[in-house]
Every structure is written in structure tokens, then in C-alpha cells.
Amino acid sequence: MIAVAVPDREGGVALALHRVSKSFDGRKVLDDARFAVRWGEVHALLGENGAGKSTIMNVATGVYIADTGVTEIDGVATRIASPIEASRHGIGMVHQHFRLVNRFTVAENILLAAGPEAGIRNLDQAARLVAAKGSEVGLGIDPAARVCDLSVAERQRVEILKVLILGARIVILDEPTAVLSDQEATSLLRFTRGLADTGHAVVLITHKLREVVGHSDRVTVMRGGRTVLADCPTTGLDEAELARQMIGERVAPLRHLEAHPGAPRLVVRDLTVARADGGKGVDGLSLELRGGEILGIAGVGGNGQQQLADCLIGLATASRGEIQLMGRPVVAASVAARRGGGLRMIPSDRFASGLIGDMSVAENLAMTHLAGRYSRWKGFLARGRMRRDARAAITTFNIAGATPERRARLLSGGNAQKLLLSREVDSELTVLVAHSPTRGLDVKACQFVHGAIQDSVAAGAACLLISDDLEEILSLSTRIAVMSRGRLVGEFPAREATAEKLGLLMMNHA
């Protein structure tokens, strides 16, 4: 299946799922859901986290087998029991988490994943195919490059090429823009349009409203495992209406916080931090952060944001420069000492460095205060107090699905983030470093996170908001700076900043 397959049934239904239900361990995640995509269109599948978007597409591609329901391809009921069968029927999916071997080259990955199915016999053939297909669809990539040396956007191209080389005519992209910068996302969305124009059926799983309105022909909205709006043309739909369908109630607009800067709480001077590969992550960066303000740091991902966050919290060592927290130098201080000074962190990947998935909710909440509040005589744990405090936090922060004993991993993304926030935004908080605090969250969870950050800042805390989501930076910050190649290249009060201004700075210095 290497030949370019341009379907002749333009406009007909390519893939349809009817009355699909699926349960995991007794919990219903799809409840009589339906979905249909036509040839030659980009179809957005919209929904909050846990709405069932990925699950129904995993059913379509044979990753999951539905409990009940029918899958139709070109109007013919078809049983798809595995991803291989799906690919034989021309369905391919690019998953949110890439399935690539990092130490292999692009060509080796293609050979590994598509070899037998696409009739590729050796590496040369795979490399030629990558080059040919890449230039045909406009996704150029070096077949000899190792995946670990590629950026996230380039890895995504490899995944898309893999699916196309396998002969997919129905292409499903699972939250493809979640890992991309704004510019990269725009170019990807343009690519999906081109794919649809050549007759493919494209499914775009997303929870970003603007991607639906600007870049797709039709939209299906899912909520709580059900399809609440099916097959609706996107022309004439406005974002507020879609949001209402998605979460079932009107979205309250963000209130803007007025800046009331107090004394400086975090002062960074001439900070330089090395990258793991030896290059400079942060390169002579200086900033000053006062109580009552949110300093938003915008920038394309990979410009030293991670190193800055790691160095501020104490995980990475600075090779030069100083950091003052509440007037005390902390550049050589331990993580624990900095936390003692009220520094708190919301990491960009909550289950990698924020929470411990296999520990209970109560343990995750207590872990930063073990030495004080939760210790009794001789270092014995005050488990009763941990449980009581956890119960209180679950009620206050309205963490759905949580009990003190439940493992944190079983919480959905938004609720796990609530758990993390309820631990980090505590009474001792002085400076909050929030790195992409809403990555991968749905509208409601975003609102909650933003509200919690604004509340703590209104109460006097200082917040450094590092994010590549411009909308988030613009709506939340009281002051905005742009980070490029390890330094700040521009700074405005929030009311003077616009997306165009920031975008220009980000691009000119990138």
C-alpha cells in the first residue's frame, strides 16, 4: 500500500461509529457514542479531558475493542480488532505520546513500524520512501537523523509520515497541537487542510476551541462519554457556543488582576544554567518579581524555560549568577531550603516531577511537610492527620474521584493538577513558579488553575508564569516578558502587550 490513494468517493462518509459503549474495570467511558467523518474534510472531535475522544478513536483503530457498537468504513460494517487490521482498512492514528524508538533513526523507525505492512524490505528503501513521501506531502525530514536529536514537532512529522506510508486515507491526530508552539501548531493545521484537500479524511482530536472554528469543516462534541453534538458545520458556530456544548454551561470570562506590586520577592541576576547536552539553557538572565504580580514569560518551548524553572526550584545548578528569595541568596541552597523560604512549583509534567502516581492522594499531599506537620515522636508518621487533612483538601478543592487512600495515578489530568495545586498553593507560599500549569487540561480545569493562581497572588504571593500558551500568558499576567535563547528579550506591562507584539519578539529572536 505505497501508492497515493486518492479516494473517489469525495464527500461520502469515510468512517462512522454507531452506538459505541466501552467500560474499563466497570467504569463506563463511552456510553452510546457516535461519530462520523467524511472524505475530504477536517473533522474536529472536541471534548474535555476524559470526555471519551481518545477512547472512541482507539476503538476505531482497534486499540480497544468496544463492548457494543458498529464501525463502518465506506458504509460497510467492519470489525477492527487490532491496529494492524485498522491500517489495512486505511485508518491510521498519530497518538499523543509518540511511539518511536528514540535511539533509532527516522528510517529505522519507519522500517520497524511499517516494514512488513508497507512492503519495505531494507533501510535504503525506507529512507527513500521517507524522502519521497515527505516531499510529496510537505513534511520534509532527514531519514538518517536519530529520533532523539529531533524536536517534538519533527518527531510528530515522523509519526504522521509513518501513518501515511502505511497507506492511511483516514488520518486521526490525537491532540496534535498540545506539544507544539503556536507557530508550529499553525503550520500543522495548514498541513491537515492540505491532507483533506487531497481527499483524505482527517480527524482532529482537540480541546482547543480556536482550532475548531478556524481550521476544521465540521465538529463533533463529546461530553462524559456521550456525543452531545454530532457532525455540525463549523461555519457560523462561535467559540462560546462550542464551549457551552463542551462543558455544558457558560464559561465565565477570566477577570483581569490589577497589579499591586509589593516588595521584591525573587531577584535573579545574570543567571546562566547549562543544558544537559552542554549548551547554554539560560544565558545571563535577570529578572525581579514582586509580591502581588504575575510575571508571564512567553516564548517558544526549548528556549531555556525548563532550565530556568529547574534552577529556580533547586534541581539544576547555576554556573553563574545569583538568585535571591525574600532577600536571602539561595543559589547554592537545597530544594528543601528554598521550599522552607516559601518557594513553590507547578511543574510542566505533573506525574513526572510533581506527583507520585503510585502513592495515595493523602501521601502526595503530605509529602512536602513530612518533617514538620506529619511527624510524631521519633519520626513516626501521623497517618491520621494525613488522612484528615487530605479529606479537607479534597472537599475544599473539589477534587473529583479522590479519596485519601486512592492512588494519585487514577485521577484524571485536571483533578491531579488540583491535587498538586492544593499542596503547592498553601499558607506559606511566597513565590510560585508555574511552568505550563494548564498543559493538557480542559476548559474547566484551566479556569480552576488560573483562579487558584490569581487568588494566591491577590493574597500577596508572587508568581512566575512560564508558558508557551500565549493566550494564557496574556489573560493571566500583570507583566509580560519574552524569553528567547536563554534570555529575556522584551518586557511590557500586561495592558500594552498583544499577541502580535509578543509573537514578533518570539520570532525575531528565535
Task: Return the number of other C-beta atoms located less than 10 Å from residue 258's C-beta.
Answer: 9
Closer Cβ to other proteins, 213 or 345, answer by number: 345
Q: Distance (Å, rounded) from C-alpha 166 to C-alpha 1?
A: 7
Cβ 133 to other proteins shortest distance, Å: 29
Closer Cβ to other proteins, 97 or 235, answer by number: 97
Closer Cβ to other proteins, 40 or 354, answer by number: 354
Classify residue 3 by burial, with Cβ atoms within 10 Å: 0-12, 13-18, 19+. exposed
Residues 6+ apart with CB under 8 A from 304: 273, 275, 280, 281, 282, 283, 285, 483, 485, 486, 487
Bridge partners (DSSP) of residue 202 are: 42, 171
Cβ 422 to other proteins shortest distance, Å: 14
Fill in the DSSP letter of residue 425. Answer: S
The residue assigned the cell 481527499 is 199
Which DSSP helix (H) or strand (E) runs through 397? helix 383-397
Cβ 65 to other proteins shortest distance, Å: 5
Best CA proximity match to 152, nearest among 348, 320, 377, 403: 348
Best CA proximity match to 63, nearest among 78, 76, 49, 81: 81
Task: Return the number of other C-beta atoms located less than 10 Å from residue 4's C-beta.
Answer: 12
Cβ 347 to other proteins shortest distance, Å: 6
Closer Cβ to other proteins, 145 or 367, answer by number: 367
Closer Cβ to other proteins, 47 or 354, answer by number: 354
Cβ 407 to other proteins shortest distance, Å: 8
Cβ 314 to other proteins shortest distance, Å: 8
Vertex 84 angle, CA 83 and 85, to 5°:
90
Cβ 273 to other proteins shortest distance, Å: 16
Q: Where are the alpha helices (DSSP H) in 138-181?
A: 152-165
Vertex 266 angle, CA 262 and 268, to 5°:
135
Cell numbers standing for residue 133 = 513521501
Classify residue 79 by burial, with Cβ atoms within 10 Å: 0-12, 13-18, 19+. exposed
Bridge partners (DSSP) of residue 222 are: 47, 227
Closer Cβ to other proteins, 359 or 510, answer by number: 359
Bridge partners (DSSP) of residue 320 are: 272
Closer Cβ to other proteins, 244 or 369, answer by number: 369
Closer Cβ to other proteins, 79 or 97, answer by number: 79
Closer Cβ to other proteins, 369 or 501, answer by number: 369
Cell numbers standing for residue 130 = 521517507
3-state secondary structure of 331: coil
Cβ 123 to other proteins shortest distance, Å: 29
Cβ 110 to other proteins shortest distance, Å: 24
In Å, what is the CA distance from 161 to each residue of 111, 156, 206, 397? 12, 9, 20, 43
Closer Cβ to other proteins, 228 or 367, answer by number: 367
Please give the residue ranges that form the binding site for other proteins (CB under 8 A): 24-25, 65, 67, 81-82, 313-315, 334-339, 345, 347, 351-359, 363, 367-368, 370-371, 374-375, 378-381, 407, 410
Cβ 423 to other proteins shortest distance, Å: 9
